[in-house]
Amino acid sequence: MESHNHPSFIEPYQGAATGVGGILRDIFTMGARPIASLNSLRFGGFDHPRTPYLLSGVVAGIGGYGNCVGVPTVGGELLFDECYNANILVNAFTLGIAEKKHIFKGVAKGIGNPLIYVGAKTGRDGIHGATMASEAFSEESEKRRPTVQVGDPFTEKLLLEACLELMKGDCLVGIQDMGAAGLTSSAAEMAARGGTGVELDLSRIPLRERGMTPYEMLLSESQERMLLVAKKGREGEIRRIFEKWDLDAVVVGKVTRDRMFRAFFDGAEVARIPVAALTTDAPVYNRPAERPPGQDELQRLDLEKVEEPKDLGSTLKLLLESPSIACKEWVYRQYDHFVRSNTVVAPGADAAVIRIKGTEKGLALTVDGNGRYCYLDPYVGGILVVAEAARNLACVGARPLGLTDCLNFGSPERADVMWQFSQVVQGMRDGCVALGIPVVSGNVSFYNETDGVPIYPTPTVGMVGLLPKVARHVTPWFKSPGDVVALLGRNREELGGSEYLKVIHRMVKGTPPWIDLKLERAVQQSCLKAIDRGLLRSAHDISEGGLGVALAECCMGGPEKPLGARIELREMMRGDARLFGESQSRIIVSLREKDLNRLREIAAKEGAPLQVLGEVGGSHLAVHPLVRVAVEELKSVWSSGLEKRLK
C-alpha cells in the first residue's frame, strides 16, 4: 500500500496515476504479477470548490494508469470530510502473486556485479518530490506542481512484462524500483541490504533531456525505472529481453566492496558517502507525544441535546444520498475491474473476491479506514479499523491472511499528532493480536496538514483473506423473498462519532463505538462457519450509517432487482440510535428459514448473539415501528447522491 496524498492534491490526475504506478512496481519488482488493485480515498466536503475537480482528476488518474497496465481495480473506499479539504488522501493498494521460490529482493551482492538501469529515460521531473511530500502545505503549494512526476503507463506495462520475463531466468541478483529520491535511494538501499558499496557512472544514464547535472540525475523521480544487479557476464541476456520490449537496459555501475556510495560524471567523482550514512545510520526520532487538552471535551456527547428527527424515513434518505454513503458506481465504472478475468465479486460489496486461476481458491480484498473514530479516540479507532476490515472479509467468507496499512497523519513535529500516531498504532496492534492477523507491510504519510491544521488521524488498512472454495462466496444483497433476515451481534445505544451525527446534526463528538474483541471474533467466526456450511444467502457488515443504511444496502445495493424487507426492532432505545448508531461487531445475514436452527447452533457455540430481525419481501423497507420507505425511492436517492454533486 502506498500513499500519494501530496502530489494528488497538487496535480490530481498525475499524482494519483503515479501512485498506482509506484505500488505496481513495488509488487512486480519482487517477481510477483500484480493481480488486483484497490484504493482508499479521502476528499473534502462538497461545498469546497476544489473537491469535484480533485475527485474527478484522481479517479481518472487511477483508471488511466491501472486500466492501461491491465491490472483490475476491484474495489476501494471513498469518504468525504471537511478535514481533508486541503489535504486529500490517495492510498493505493496492489496485490500480486509470486512463486515462493521466485521472490526477488532489492539487494546488491557479488563484488563486481554490474548495476543495470532499465526502463524509461531520466528527465527533470519529480526532483525533490519526496521532500515536497514531507512538508506541510501552505499557500505556496501551487508552485510545487513541477515536483509531481508524470506517469507513462504504457512504458510501465512494457517494464512489467520485461521484468517478469527476465525473472524466469537466473541472471538476476537483485532488483529495486527507483521510487522516492530515485537512483540515490534505490542504489544506496540495495547496497545497504547487501552489505556492499556501489559505484555509479552517471555519464551512462539514459536521459530524456540534455544538460542534466549529476545532482538532477541522482534525485530525478522519473517514473517507470528499475535498478538491477545482475550476475557478471549475463548482461547480454538482459539486454536482449529489454530490447524485445523496446526498453533501455544500460550498465551504469557496479557493486563494490567498500560500502561506499560513489557517483562519477565525465570521469570525475561527484559524490562519495558511506552507504550507512544514507540508510541504516539515519537518525531515529523519538518525538514527544502528548494527549491534547481538548480531547476530553471532544469526547463529551450529551445525547439529550441531540434532537431526534421526527421522520426517520427522510433521515434515512438524507444519509443514503450523502456522499460518503451514496453509491460509488460513478467512481468504479471508470476502472477496469474485469481484466485478467478473475473477478468474482466486483466493486460495491463488503470485499472484492477474485479467483486464483487453476485452483478452487479465491482471495478477498478490502481497504478500510475511519478517520473520525481515530480523531475521537485514536486507540479505539486503531482497533476498529482492523476489526472492520476483518469483518468485511468474513462477510464474503474469507479468513484473513494478512494486512498492510497506510498511516496518514499530520505533522509528527506536533506532540498531539505524535500522540494520535502512537495511540493508533497501539490500537491496531492490539486488534491484530486479538484477531490473529499478521501485519506484513506498511506505509506512513506525515505532514498531511495545511496552515497548521492537520487531517483527522487516518490509518487505512488493506486486508487480504483466503476462500478455500471461491464458489462458496457470499455477497451483501438479499436474494429471495421469504428468506429470514437475522443479526449477528448486538445493537447498543451508541451515536458517538457516527455518520448520522455528522450529516444530520453537523456534530463530530463523543466516543467511537465500544468494541469487545472477543465478541468481534465470535461474530466473525459464526459468519465464516455459516458460509463454510453453505447456510447464508447474504451477509453485510454494519458500518457508517448503522443498521438502517446497511438494511437499505441489502435491499437495493446489488446488481440484481431490488427487494424489500419487513423488519422489527425490539431494543428499547432512541429510534435514531437503533437505526443509525454504529455499534461494532454486527453483521446482517439472510438465509432460508430451514437453515435458521443450524445458524443458531453455530452462533451459540461461538458465543455470538443472534437475533431474527424479519424477512425479505415486499417493495418497501419497513422497519417497524420506525420507517417504511419504498425500496425504489431509496435506490434512486442512493444511486444519484454522488453524481448529482459532480454536475
Partner 1 sequence: MRWGVIVFPGSCDEQDVYDCLKRNLGQRPEFLWHKDRLKGKFDCIVLPGGFSYGDYLRCGAMARFSPIMQGVVEFAGKGGLVLGICNGFQILCEAGLLPGALVRNSSLQFVCRQVFLRVEETDSPFTCSGKKGQLLRMPVKHGEGCYYADPAVLERLRKNRQILVRYADSKGRSSPAANPNGSLDHIAGICNEARNVFGLMPHPEDAGEKTLGSEDGLKIFSSVVAACDKKEKKAWLG
Q: Which is nearer to partner 1, 70 or 617 (CB)?
A: 70
Instruction: Work out how close the CB of 20 gets to partner 1 at its nearest, in angstroms, rounded to a whole number.
Output: 14
The phi and psi torsions of 255 (rounded to 5 degrees) equal -85, 135
Contacting range for partner 1; rule: CB under 8 A; set: 12-20, 24-32, 342-350, 526-534: 342-350
CA distance linking residue 252 with residue 118, whole number of Å = 10
Interaction of residue 302 with partner 1, rule CB under 8 A: no
Neighbour-count burial of 46, counting CB atoms closer than 10 A to its CB (0-12 exposed, 13-18 middle, 19+ buried): middle
Distance, in Å, from the CA atom of 478 to the CA atom of 484, rounded to the nearest integer, reads 10
Q: Under the criterion CB under 8 A, does residue 459 sit at the interface with partner 1?
A: no
Residue 332 found at the interface with partner 1 (CB under 8 A) = yes
Work out how close the CB of 467 gets to partner 1 at its nearest, in angstroms, rounded to a whole number. 12
Contact 227, 117 (CB under 8 A): yes
Using alpha carbons, list the distances in angstroms from residue 378 to 291, 385, 419, 425.
10, 10, 9, 9
Q: Which stretch binds partner 1 (CB under 8 A): 20-28, 213-221, 331-339, 414-422?
A: 331-339
Out of 343, 370, 392, 475, the residue judged to bind partner 1 by CB under 8 A:
343
Nearer to partner 1, 156 or 615 (CB): 156
Could you tell me which of 582, 587, 645 has the C-alpha nearest to residue 330?
645
Burial 144-182 (b: 16+ CB within 10 A, else e): beebbbebbbebbbbbbbbbbebbeeebbbbbbbbbbbb
Whose Cβ is closer to partner 1: residue 62's or residue 226's?
62
Pick one of 32, 69, 326, 389: the residue that binds partner 1 (CB under 8 A).
69
| Residue (63 or 174) nearer to partner 1, CB | 63
Q: Give the count of residues interacting with partner 1 (CB under 8 A).
A: 35
Q: Which is nearer to partner 1, 287 or 340 (CB)?
A: 340
**409: buried, middle or exposed (CB in 10 Å: 19+, 13-18, 0-12)?**
buried
Beta carbons within 10 angstroms of residue 434's beta carbon: 18
Binding to partner 1, residues 114-153 (CB under 8 A):
152-153
In whole angstroms, the minimum distance from the beta carbon of 158 to partner 1 comes to 6
CB under 8 A: which stretch of 129-137, 320-328, 341-349, 409-417 binds partner 1? 341-349
CB of 331 to partner 1, least distance (A): 11
From 245, 419, 446, 478, residue interacting with partner 1 (rule: CB under 8 A): 245
Quick check: 496 binds partner 1 (CB under 8 A)? no
Measure the CA–CA gap between 497 and 500, rounded to whole angstroms: 8
CB of residue 246 to partner 1, shortest distance in Å: 7
Nearer to partner 1, 24 or 344 (CB): 344
Instruction: Give the separation between CA 422 and CA 457, rounded to whole angstroms.
Output: 11
The CA-atom distances, in angstroms, between 501 and each of 133, 332, 510, 523, 631 are 33, 28, 10, 26, 24
Query: Is the CB of residue 320 less than 8 Å from the CB of residue 637?
Result: yes
H-assigned helices in 405-545: 415-435, 499-505, 517-532
Which 549-568 positions form the footprint of partner 1 (CB under 8 A)? 559
Whether 186 contacts 219, CB under 8 Å: no
Compute CA 280 distance to the chain's CA centroid, rounded to the nearest angstrom.
28
Question: According to CB under 8 A, which one of 60, 111, 289, 444 is a site residue for partner 1?
Answer: 60
Return the closest-CA partner of residue 232 out of 203, 253, 261. 253
CA 170 to chain centre: 34
Determine if 336 is a binding residue for partner 1 (CB under 8 A). Answer: yes
**8 A C-beta contact, residue 475 and residue 355:** no
Residue 596 backbone phi and psi in degrees, to 5: -60, -40
Binding residue for partner 1 (CB under 8 A) from 42, 124, 328, 337?
Answer: 337
Least gap, CB of 344 to partner 1 (angstroms): 6
Please tell me whether residue 68 binds partner 1 under the rule CB under 8 A: yes
Q: Is 400 in the site for partner 1 (CB under 8 A)?
A: no
310: which residues sit within 8 A by CB, 6+ positions away? none
Part in contact with partner 1 (CB under 8 A); list of ranges 240-248, 520-528, 575-583, 618-626? 240-248
**341 is a contact residue toward partner 1 (CB under 8 A):** yes
Cβ–Cβ < 8 Å for 116, 255 = no
Q: Does residue 157 belong to the site contacting partner 1 (CB under 8 A)?
A: yes
CB of residue 79 to partner 1, shortest distance in Å: 22
Toward partner 1, which CB reaches closer, 340 or 628?
Answer: 340
Q: Which of 471, 533, 619, 644 binds partner 1 (CB under 8 A)?
A: 471
Question: Does the footprint of partner 1 cover residue 344 (CB under 8 A)?
Answer: yes
Q: Which is nearer to partner 1, 257 or 333 (CB)?
A: 333
377 touches partner 1 (CB under 8 A):
no
Cell of 255: 557493486
Q: What is the torsional sign of CA 458, 63, 121, 33?
A: positive
Q: Which stretch binds partner 1 (CB under 8 A): 310-318, 326-334, 396-404, 459-467?
A: 326-334
**Burial category of 407 from C-beta neighbours within 10 Å (exposed 0-12, middle 13-18, buried 19 and up):** buried
Q: How far apart are the first and last CA of the chain?
A: 31
Nearer to partner 1, 158 or 485 (CB): 158
User: Which region among 17-25, 60-68, 75-83, 303-311 touches partner 1 (by CB under 8 A)?
Assistant: 60-68
Q: How far is the CB of 372 from partner 1 (least distance, A)?
A: 30
Nearer to partner 1, 55 or 587 (CB): 55
Vertex 343 angle, CA 338 and 347, to 5°: 80
E-strand spans in 147-224?
Answer: 172-177, 197-201
Q: How far is the CB of 159 from partner 1 (least distance, A)?
A: 11
For partner 1, the binding residues (CB under 8 A) are 60, 63-64, 67-70, 152-155, 157-158, 244-246, 332-344, 346, 355, 357, 470-471, 559
